[in-house]
């Protein structure tokens, strides 16, 4: 909840500044605050304050708030239940598995207070340090290598900077501290960040949310790509377990050679035909189009099946199911 207090403070500041006309650089409220405030204000117009401010310990681990259903980030999907519990990474549970050499995904554990405290991966792991309801540090180890991270938060409650020290000799000597600062340049409709940059590069994530059943315009189970956001996962060509996010505001999808952007080009509701453009992430140059039929499965999920054709004329089949 503390993070949401930062959000509302930023929102009110932006509203006050907006009412006084355009601001000059140095007025005390940065562009991050205004972007976040605008997203959050629109979310509150659509939903109740309780719905927007909802959070949980697992959601806080990822720096999220609101009734998040799934997140697409780093080429992987993360799913949450209606109580905000993290229940799946890709197609496996994040908990209770035995780690093997070929295991793609880590295993996590909670401490007695319900916070995610440890990550285990092949020949190593991480310990997460929590204070005042948020992560303030992370200690990772792998054979003789160790890494210690400390987190600083900005006025919006997002991680503003990370300081790192490393050791290649099991902690006998440590490197000089290095620092990574983050600039947030995109927020989604609930005020969660969708795009951030640092000198290490650009990070993107795409979120979908549970519907608020109390909203007057609640559309139920209809497929509405102009109004709702979706994450599909399945086969694209020879690549399996590929996630694809679509939204009228633009989405992302992941293939083995990187992250791409998407845009809804056309949807014929009567024929159930959906066309989604694929764009290069660096400059949104068009790379091709997904074109196919959308159908409802017995469990209420949607299947999107058809052909992806690139701008050079090459094509592959795709078969995806919504989360």
Over residues 31-56, the mean pLDDT reads 73
Q: For residues 209 and 186, give the distance between their C-alpha atoms in angstroms, rounded to a whole number.
A: 17
Query: Tens of pLDDT along 127-153?
Result: 999 999 999 999 998 877 889 999 999
Q: Which of 173, 205, 237 is the last residue of a domain?
A: 205
Within a domain: residue 252?
A: yes
Q: According to the model, what pLDDT value does residue 215 have?
A: 67
Query: 174, 166 in Cβ contact below 8 A?
Result: yes
Over residues 114-125, the mean pLDDT reads 92
Over residues 187-198, the mean pLDDT reads 93
Give the DSSP letter of residue 161: E
The answer on 201 and 227 residing in a single domain is no
The answer on 145 and 256 residing in a single domain is no
Within a domain: residue 15?
A: no
The answer on 283 and 169 residing in a single domain is no
pLDDT band at 189 (very low <50, low <70, confident <90, very high): confident
Over residues 10-26, the mean pLDDT reads 39
Query: Tens of pLDDT along 210-246?
Result: 988 776 555 567 899 998 999 999 999 999 999 999 9
Within a domain: residue 8?
A: no
Range of the domain at 182: 56-205
Q: For residues 320 and 323, give the distance between their C-alpha atoms in angstroms, rounded to a whole number.
A: 10
Over residues 48-77, the mean pLDDT reads 92
Q: Can you give the pTM of this predicted structure?
A: 0.84
Q: According to the model, what pLDDT value does residue 116 have?
A: 97
Query: 27, 17 in Cβ contact below 8 A?
Result: yes
Q: Which of 135, 90, 134, 139 is nearest to 119 (CA)?
A: 139
Q: For residues 217 and 62, give the distance between their C-alpha atoms in angstroms, rounded to a whole number.
A: 29
The answer on 258 and 299 residing in a single domain is yes
Q: Report the number of distinct structural domains present in the chain.
A: 2
The answer on 307 and 230 residing in a single domain is yes
The answer on 68 and 131 residing in a single domain is yes
On the question of pLDDT at 166 being above 80, the answer is yes
Q: According to the model, what pLDDT value does residue 45 have?
A: 67
Q: Which of 117, 72, 133, 70 is nearest to 301 (CA)?
A: 70
Over residues 51-55, the mean pLDDT reads 84
φ, ψ (nearest 5 deg) of residue 15: -60, -45
Q: Which of 256, 263, 151, 160 is nearest to 206 (CA)?
A: 263
Within a domain: residue 240?
A: yes
Q: Which of 161, 170, 116 is nearest to 141 (CA)?
A: 170
Within a domain: residue 211?
A: no
N-term to C-term CA, the chain: 27
pLDDT band at 81 (very low <50, low <70, confident <90, very high): very high
CA atoms 104, 71, 1, 7: torsion sign: positive
The answer on 201 and 223 residing in a single domain is no
pLDDT band at 253 (very low <50, low <70, confident <90, very high): very high
On the question of pLDDT at 19 being above 70, the answer is no
On the question of pLDDT at 2 being above 90, the answer is no
Query: 172, 184 in Cβ contact below 8 A?
Result: no
Give the DSSP letter of residue 220: T
Within a domain: residue 41?
A: no
The answer on 168 and 119 residing in a single domain is yes
Within a domain: residue 106?
A: yes
Within a domain: residue 199?
A: yes
């Amino acid at each position: 909840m503390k993070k949401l207090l930062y959000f509302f403070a930023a929102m009110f500041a932006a509203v006050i500044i907006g009412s006084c006309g355009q601001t000059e650089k140095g007025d005390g409220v940065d562009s991050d605050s205004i972007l976040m405030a605008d997203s959050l204000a629109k979310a509150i117009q659509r939903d109740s304050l309780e719905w927007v401010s909802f959070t949980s310990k697992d959601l806080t681990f990822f720096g999220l708030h609101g009734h998040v259903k799934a997140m697409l980030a780093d080429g992987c999907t993360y799913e949450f239940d209606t109580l905000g519990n993290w229940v799946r990474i890709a197609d496996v549970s994040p908990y209770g598995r035995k780690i093997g050499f070929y295991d793609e995904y880590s295993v996590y554990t909670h401490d007695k207070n319900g916070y995610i405290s440890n990550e285990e991966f092949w020949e190593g792991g991480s310990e997460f340090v929590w204070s005042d309801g948020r992560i303030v540090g992370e200690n990772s180890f792998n054979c003789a290598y160790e890494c210690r991270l400390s987190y600083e938060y900005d006025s919006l409650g997002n991680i503003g900077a990370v300081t790192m020290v490393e050791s290649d000799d099991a902690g006998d000597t440590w490197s000089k501290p290095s620092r990574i600062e983050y600039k947030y340049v995109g927020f989604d409709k609930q005020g969660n960040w969708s795009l951030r940059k640092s000198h290490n590069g650009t990070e993107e994530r795409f979120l979908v949310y549970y519907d608020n059943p109390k909203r007057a315009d609640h559309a139920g189970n209809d497929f509405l790509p102009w109004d709702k956001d979706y994450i599909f996962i399945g086969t694209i060509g020879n690549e399996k377990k590929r996630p694809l996010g679509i939204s009228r505001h633009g989405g992302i999808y992941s293939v083995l050679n990187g992250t791409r952007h998407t845009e809804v080009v056309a949807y014929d509701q009567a024929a159930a035909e959906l066309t989604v453009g694929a764009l290069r992430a660096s400059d949104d140059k068009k790379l091709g189009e997904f074109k196919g039929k959308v159908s409802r499965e017995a469990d209420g999920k949607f299947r999107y099946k058809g052909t992806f054709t690139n701008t050079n004329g090459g094509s592959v089949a795709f078969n995806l199911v919504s989360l």
